[in-house]
Amino acid sequence: MNRPRVGVTLGDPWGIGPEVVAAALARPEVRRACVPVVFGDRGVLARAASTARVPLPRRLTVIEPVRFDPGRFRFGRPPPLGGAVPVAWLEAAVAAARGGELEALVTAPIHKALVAAAGFRFAGHTDYLAARFRARRVVMLLAGPTLKVALATVHVPLKRAPGLLTTSGIVSTLAILDEGLRRYFGVRRSRVAVCGLNPHAGEGGLLGDEEIRIIAPAVARAKERGLRVDGPLPADSLFARAARGGPWDAILAMTHDQGLGPLKTVDFERAVNVTLGLPIPRTSPDHGVAYDIAGKGTADPTSLVEAVLAAARMARAGASGGARPWPR
């Protein structure tokens, strides 16, 4: 594979997605790495490029699945039912990927409440992609230069997270994470640190028993399957040890903020969100729509640039086995 075809959605058009996509497409290293196929609106992308003060590539494929009225368009000011627009762009990109037209997919951020108001019945991109690709299980991995952090639970209220943890689910997550590290990141035999859920990893049951009932048995079962895993380990010290050169290739956190708070502290601009368990690589930046700075030309495109480059690298590594039609 020379330059893989990478689908890039504009995300929420009222946020910074179009700006960072335009800025990324202007980077020579991005154009050398892949053939981008944008799913969105050419007019919005052109306005975003003007805002970001960057030129768009002369030969750029932009797929426009829905009519978009630019008359009342204002960056940072989404209409109440505007969420239908980024959902349509996402659906078109996934359809192209399922049809074998793309080797990888990059998604700019959407506003979860906005798309929910338009009838989007998923917590986010990850859940939607798992359903559309009929994946039995997917894993959210944030990969930065310093840390790689996967999540056992993702976009759920904190009070629900303990009830969603199961021994079998953690084992499956560790298996998918191990495969992804080997396939996408060149790790020959991964070693993963597993966080506890409670302070001090439960302190022997004094501060919670999920470690004893769920997490420790999952670690033991994963070891029986030949995986190299350590834990459950206290999260308050684990991330510092890992960031300072600890022996692990990745960390499995039990909840969203337990894992992503430390990662974004050290790798915010460079971290990439990777979905493991899909038939093709999917990445996204690790930031949101940022309505407050949209249209001001100040959005940092670094994370989106890294997401596109990562998707291209993953595709070239043969992770998807080449673009193939997906069963409908």
Whole-model pTM: value is: 0.90
Residue 288: CA count within 13 A, CB half-sphere? 10
Nearest alpha carbon to residue 10 among 99, 55, 75:
75
Pair 204, 165: CB distance under 8 Å: no
Where do the domains of the chain lie?
1-135+278-328, 137-277
Which tokens go with 150?
């996967």
What is the bridge-based pairing of β-strands 61-63 and 35-39? parallel
Partner residues linked to 192 by β-bridges: 229, 250
- DSSP string for residues in 229-245: EEEEE-HHHHHHHHHTT
Per-residue pLDDT of the chain (328 residues; tens, 9 = 90+): 689 999 999 999 999 999 999 999 999 999 999 999 999 999 999 999 999 999 999 899 999 999 887 677 899 999 988 999 999 999 999 999 999 999 999 999 999 999 999 999 998 899 999 999 999 999 999 999 999 999 999 989 999 999 999 999 999 999 999 999 999 888 999 999 999 999 999 999 999 999 999 999 999 999 999 999 999 999 999 999 999 999 999 999 999 999 999 999 999 878 899 999 999 999 999 889 999 999 999 999 999 999 999 999 999 986 444 444 434 4
Superfamily covering domain 1-135+278-328: Isopropylmalate Dehydrogenase (3.40.718.10)
Q: Which helix (H) or strand (E) holds 251?
A: strand 250-253
Query: Which pLDDT does position 324 carry in this prediction?
Result: 44
CA gap 100, 39 in Å, rounded: 16
In CATH, the number for domain 137-277 is 3.40.718.10
Closest C-alpha to 281, from 323, 249, 223: 323
- How high is the pLDDT of residue 200? 97
CA-nearest of 286, 278, 288 to 307 is: 286
What is the per-residue pLDDT for 70?
Answer: 66
Of 87, 70, 73, the residue nearest 128 (C-alpha):
87
From the CB of residue 314, how many other CB atoms can be counted at a distance below 10 Å?
A: 25
pLDDT at 318: 65
Residue 38, CA distances (Å) to 53, 212, 235, 288 in order? 19, 48, 39, 19
CB 308 within 8 A of CB 106: yes
In this prediction, residue 325 carries a pLDDT of 40
Tokens at 43, concatenated: 């007019």
pLDDT of residue 326: 38
Half-sphere exposure of 245 (CA within 13 A, CB side): 0
